[in-house]
Amino acid sequence: MKAAPFEYVAPVTLDDAVGALAGEGGDAKVLAGGQSLIPMLALRLARPTLLVDINHIAGLDGLRESSGTLEIGALVRQRRLERWAASRSDLFAEVLRHVAHPPIRNRGTVVGNVVHADPASELPALLLCLEGVVVARGPRGERTLAADRLYRAPLTTSLGADEVATAVRFALPPAGAGWGFAEVSRRHGDFALVGAVAVLARAAGGPVTRARLAFFGAGGTPMRGVAAERILEGHEPTPTRLGEAARAAAAALSPDDDIHATAAYRRRVAATLAERTLAAALARCGSGA
């Protein structure tokens, strides 16, 4: 046996799931796809006393797009979003292709990945870039948490231990906006050493009307490149300005040293990837995201 012993319940209603979490006083964990939780159990980095398996709860498997918002329920596997994206969104298709490998994406949920809050993971940065929200249900009812209020530290969100994340909502890029995505990793499907995702919109041939940039693998949480956004919005996106924006955003990061890369290396790569993703987003402006 790899994992330490735990109790297991598989409630069929959200209220029962919330009740089970609340009753365990912070020592319970939600099990959906399990692709982040089960490795942590196997390594005994997590030792919950209770697993609350939400896979039998009805109504959590919706994938809906309406008026520019994509809502994804807690039981939607990454693979299903990938298949949706194949015909609907090149941005989501490109991001999903980099999330682990097909056998992981067949089980792993979008919501689980977003709230697991690995700072080197792609989807949390995409949520930040697209100013998404997480919908959570707890003993005091439902609330929504904006992406920029969600991530506090590695693997740590502002969700309560007695809350179940029931959905995420992504604000899809407006028509005519362009996108860019790039990451550096040791192998395809690994967590990124550093990555960036950008969305740009501009008035026809004119100034940038909206710029969004987010980094992953460049700090303890996914990071918005606010400095770059400020430099770009309202200005002509000249190559010089894109480079200036990318360097400013990277300078504001405080990445960590680890066995894979130094902080200085990560900051340099972040600046390069920011420039590339902004340039790619600019090139795609007008052709749809």
Interface contacts to another protein, rule CB under 8 A: 1-8, 10, 31, 34-35, 38-39, 41-43, 51, 53, 55, 79, 97, 100-104, 106-107, 187-189
Closer CB to another protein, 41 or 253, in the complex: 41
Nearest to 160 by CA among 177, 143, 176, 184: 143
- Both tokens of 127, joined, read 């949520």
Residue number with CB closer to another protein (107 or 268): 107
- 9 — phi, psi (to 5°)? -130, 150
Question: Which residue number, 47 or 152, has a Cβ lying nearer to another protein?
Answer: 47
Counting runs of H as helices and runs of E as strands, what totals does the chain give?
11, 14
Beta bridge partners of 143: 136
SS3 label, residue 251? helix
Least distance (Å) between residue 243 CB and another protein: 31
Q: How many whole angstroms separate alpha carbon 186 and alpha carbon 95?
A: 17
CB of 130 to another protein, least distance (A): 25
CB-nearer residue toward another protein: 118 or 229: 118
We find the least distance from the C-beta atom of residue 9 to another protein, in angstroms, to be 9
CB of 34 to another protein, least distance (A): 6
DSSP calls for 32-49:
SS-TTHHHHHHTTS---S
Residue 26 half-sphere exposure toward CB, CA atoms < 13 A: 2
Token digits of residue 202: 């501009």
Please say which residue, 53 or 256, places its beta carbon nearer to another protein: 53
Q: Considering the complex, what minimum distance in angstroms separates the CB of residue 186 from another protein?
A: 10
